[in-house]
Structure 1
Amino acid sequence: MEKISEGKTKEVFLLDNDHVLLRFKDYVTAGDGAKADIIDGKGVLNAQTSALLFRLLEREGIETHYVGMKDERTMIAKRLNMIPVEVVLRNYATGSIVKRLPIKEGEIFDPPIVEFFLKDDARHDPLLNYHHMRYLKLMNEEEARYIEGIVQRVNAVLTKVVERLNLVLYDFKLEFGRLGNKLLVGDEITLDAMRVREPQTQRILDKDLYRRGYPLEHVKSAYEEFLGRLRNVV
């Protein structure tokens, strides 16, 4: 099939006029791709995690690009015109926000904070506001506020399911695309794009393990553990 795009962790193939195939690769990256490794089977883990969470969102009335699975690492998805913006919702302070602002690790955000970042590795994904996005013709303020509302709804769903796993959802990243005049959740929902912790021990079960230099086997084990817990409740 025709490959129409490829990123650090996925390949996109044209299936037909309305659908694409997303093939999840075994790469794990950090630092805007400056650090990269292969974890055998990671693509399967991320594809299966995404499938479960997209199905959950669909059941809760949140429209996504998810259609089904072609095989264990390849997702069938609606063909969207993707917006090169990462939308991050933060329930707890960690990651870049504690480096950028006078905020301490672990502070609780009530209500959660939503941030927009331009997908641009060369510029290290700079923070955007409504004015930037309008000027760059990415989205207008009405669309940005609509997306904020969708992300809040996704947060309610994900927080609930993560709590059922006896974990805490610190933050997550979503991407959106256009299908006609609709804005749908696209890309993936995996441990590459969310942070989860055990509430008492603060044990990490997400890509922060890789960012912090843990062995690749340890990273894979955490992804396997999360998917195993998720399959028991979704």
Structure 2
Amino acid sequence: MDLVYKGKTKDVYQDENGQTVLYFKDDMTGKDGVFDPGENQVGLKVEGSGKAGLQMTSFFFEKLNAANIPTHFVDSDVEKREMRVKKITVFGKGLEVICRFKAVGSFIRRYGDYIEEGAELPAYVEVTLKDDERQDPFINEAALEALNILNADEYKEIVDLTVKISEVIKEELAAKGLDLYDIKLEFGRDQETGEVLLIDEISGGNMRVYKDGEYIEPLKLNGYMFDN
């Protein structure tokens, strides 16, 4: 396969048939050897983390595809840590979309004067620009339109898809006795049809999950999902 792009936690290849293949590495984002999904640098290498990330990603993408929710997922080989996906284009230089069910993390740091930590939120959606240098700044609908990153219809579609997808994932976790507090998703356009698609991955590093009020570390989440 030909290497197309070397990322922090995944490399992008093109195979002999011209298909796009994502390779899940054991590199994880963090700082000083401590895992942190919000960090913009590789902080540690954990054997098995790439396979675990792809296992969960494949599980959720297969559920979403079966529910006729548009994604870039084609198929995967968990043992090889490879996922075949549709060719896509990103919005601008990339967007991250957060769906919040509980007030934690940066939300409570910003709005703590108005809400208690852990309080319920109504599937609240926020958008950030993927920009390491500027620490992934938040951006609203008007600015996204003004900068020609997306239009009003695409914004509404992304918000609606985010809530729909997040609810599916929340229900799957709840079936295992787990509580989804928030989740980070990414979207792009199908290169051939222009359809808005869920892209990237859906793994423990993308979400905050709790059980009986206790935070579940991302690398331990697969155990709860698949070992019982």
The TM-score bracket by the shorter chain reads 0.7 to 0.9
Aligned to 1:215: none
Q: What is the Cα deviation at residue 206 of structure 1?
A: 3.5
Instruction: Give the TM-score normalised by the residue count of structure 2.
Output: 0.87
Cα distance between partner residues in 2 of 1:132 and 1:170: 27
- Structure 2 counterpart SS, 1:166: coil
> Is 2:67 the counterpart of 1:40?
no
> Is 2:113 the counterpart of 1:98?
no
- Structure 1 counterpart SS, 2:15: strand
Aligned residue among 29, 51, 54 for 2:58:
51
Structure 1's 16 and 173: CA in aligned 2 closer, same or farther, altered over 3 A?
Answer: farther
What CA deviation, in whole Å up to 9, does each residue of 1:40-94 have, x standing for no partner? 0100000111000000011111011111114521101111112300000000111
- Structure 1 counterpart SS, 2:145: helix
Maintained 8 Å contact 2:10/2:22:
yes
> Is 2:226 the counterpart of 1:228?
yes
Maintained 8 Å contact 2:99/2:184:
yes
Q: What is the Cα deviation at residue 39 of structure 1?
A: 0.6
> Is 2:7 the counterpart of 1:7?
yes
Maintained 8 Å contact 1:18/1:79:
no
Aligned to 2:146: 135
- Structure 2 counterpart SS, 1:36: strand
Cα distance between partner residues in 2 of 1:98 and 1:155: 20
> Is 2:204 the counterpart of 1:191?
yes
Cα distance between partner residues in 2 of 1:128 and 1:140: 14
Q: What is the Cα deviation at residue 35 of structure 1?
A: 6.1
Aligned length: 214
- Structure 2 counterpart SS, 1:138: coil
What CA deviation, in whole Å up to 9, does each residue of 1:24-48 have, x standing for no partner? 1111213533560011010000011
Instruction: Give the TM-score normalised by the residue count of structure 1.
Output: 0.85
Structure 1's 137 and 17: CA in aligned 2 closer, same or farther, altered over 3 A?
Answer: farther
* Amino acid aligned to 2:62: R
Structure 1's 82 and 15: CA in aligned 2 closer, same or farther, altered over 3 A?
Answer: farther
Structure 1's 113 and 203: CA in aligned 2 closer, same or farther, altered over 3 A?
Answer: same
Structure 1's 130 and 93: CA in aligned 2 closer, same or farther, altered over 3 A?
Answer: same
Listed as ranges, the gaps of 5+ residues in structure 1 are: 208-219
* Amino acid aligned to 2:19: H
* Amino acid aligned to 1:225: G
Taking only aligned residues, the RMSD between alpha carbons, in angstroms, comes to 1.8
Maintained 8 Å contact 2:56/2:222:
no
- Structure 1 counterpart SS, 2:205: coil
Aligned residue among 175, 182, 189 for 2:195:
182
Report which stretch shifted further, 73-82 or 27-36: 27-36
> Is 2:178 the counterpart of 1:167?
yes
Aligned to 2:214: 203
> Is 2:114 the counterpart of 1:107?
no
Listed as ranges, the gaps of 5+ residues in structure 2 are: 30-35
